[in-house]
């Protein structure tokens, strides 16, 4: 599973890859695992310049190394576990929404 996070101010974010032990997406489709790190600064969205320069991504993390729990009414929620091929969290400043969400 490809796990990408655009919340660069999260303490678990390492070059757009989540390094948390587990991830919980709540019933409002927000990552409850998110913890703001005051020492990290917001950076520009690298997708704006994707074809001009290669972004620095950390190596993909195997989903077997962490548990992804989900409470959202999502197509990929199977008994509280995420069964999606990938999960991506947005970069909007307000809340870390799961943009991989597909409602049932």
Residue tagged 């919340």 (tokens)? 7
Mind listing the pLDDT tens digit of every residue in the chain (104 residues)? 778 888 888 999 888 888 898 999 999 999 999 999 988 876 655 666 667 766 667 777 665 667 889 999 999 999 999 998 888 888 766 789 998 999 98
Residue-wise DSSP of 33-58:
T--B-TTSPP---GGGGTTTS---PP
- Could you give the C-alpha distances from 94 to 36, 39, 81, in angstroms and in order? 11, 18, 25
Q: What's the pTM value of the predicted model, to 2 decimals?
A: 0.78
In angstroms, the CA 84 to CA 81 distance is 9
């Amino acid at each position: 599973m490809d796990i990408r996070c655009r919340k660069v101010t999260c303490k678990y974010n390492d070059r757009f890859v989540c390094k948390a032990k587990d991830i919980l997406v709540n019933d409002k489709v927000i990552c409850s695992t998110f913890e703001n790190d005051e020492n990290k600064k917001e950076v520009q969205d690298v997708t704006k310049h994707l074809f001009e320069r290669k972004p620095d991504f950390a190596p993909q993390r195997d989903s077997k190394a962490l548990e992804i729990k989900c409470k959202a009414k999502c197509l990929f929620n199977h008994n509280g576990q995420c069964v999606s091929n990938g999960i991506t969290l947005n970069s909007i400043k307000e809340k870390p929404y799961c943009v991989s969400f597909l409602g049932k």
